[in-house]
Amino acid sequence: MLPIGDDNSQRRLFPIVTNGLIAVNICVFLLELLGGDNFIYAWSFIPARFLSDPFGNFITIFTSMFLHAGWFHLGGNMLYLLIFGDYVEDRFGHFKFLVFYLLSGLAACFAQFIVGMFSDIPTLGASGAIAGVLAAYLFLFPRGRVRVLLAAWVVNLPALLVIGAWIVIQLVSGMGSLSSASSTGGVAYMAHIGGFLAGLVLTLFFRKKARPLYYSQIIIDLLSRSLKNHTSFQG
């Protein structure tokens, strides 16, 4: 079951942030191809490394959101972001959507950190942040419909069914990751679950009296300081 589109007839804003995030992810992936394993290791989120120096490696929580393990990983994430992100951005507005996306990714990283803080396996990918977007879409548009490719047919299915199936897969896989890391092949399923739950909570907050400018300034200050420490450490 592969989602390939939705009904954008009610969208009011051009999804500049959604498209911009997709462009940045693609550009960073091209840098990965040039930089190889050293680039991935330097900028991915590694729980054990973060545990040893949280402040110096805080920047990797965000840089890891733009790294991907391969073309298929990148393509799948960007497809979901393209289909579901535009509607959420339209409802939140450009800036609030960007803050929402980054906070969902941050929560996803910490969810994975909690269950594997001593792991030295790099965590990377936009999946956690996109999980937050899926949660927001489901909350804001519970009656939305998605065009899905089933075998050789294209059918319209309720978004609740499509995203619900994704949730079930993540929950089952996440339970497995708690018992045996090897059984999940290193995939950060708990990050997906954490991002989704964070997306639900943030949607409630953002729809009422969100103050993203205040919280984003805190994040920017932490990022700038962490970036200085991280780059000096890598050098």
- Count other Cβ atoms within 10 Å, centred on residue 148: 20
In the chain the domains, ranked by start, together with CATH numbers, are: 2-234 (1.20.1540.10)
The residue to which tokens 């390939």 are assigned: 4
- Average pLDDT of the chain is 81
Q: In what order do the strands lie in the sheet with 145-150?
A: 2-6, 145-150, 153-158
For 163-179, b/e burial (b = at least 16 CB within 10 A) is: beebbeebeebbeebee
Residue 180, Ramachandran bin (φ over 0: left; ψ between -120 and 50: alpha; else beta): beta
* Nearest-angstrom CA–CA distance, 60 and 116: 16
Closest CA to 146 of 162, 166, 167: 162
pLDDT tens digits along 1-32: 778 777 656 667 889 999 999 999 999 999 99
Place of tokens 């990283």: 109
Lookup: tokens for 89: 């951005």
pLDDT band at 143; cut points 50, 70, 90: confident
Q: Are 82 and 26 in contact (CB under 8 A)?
A: no
Residue 39 structure tokens = 């680039």
| Three-class secondary structure of residue 144 per DSSP | coil
**Which of the four pLDDT bands, split at 50, 70 and 90, describes residue 173?**
low
Confidence (pTM): 0.81
Answer yes or no: is pLDDT of 222 > 80: no
Distance separating alpha carbons of residues 113 and 110, to the nearest angstrom:
5
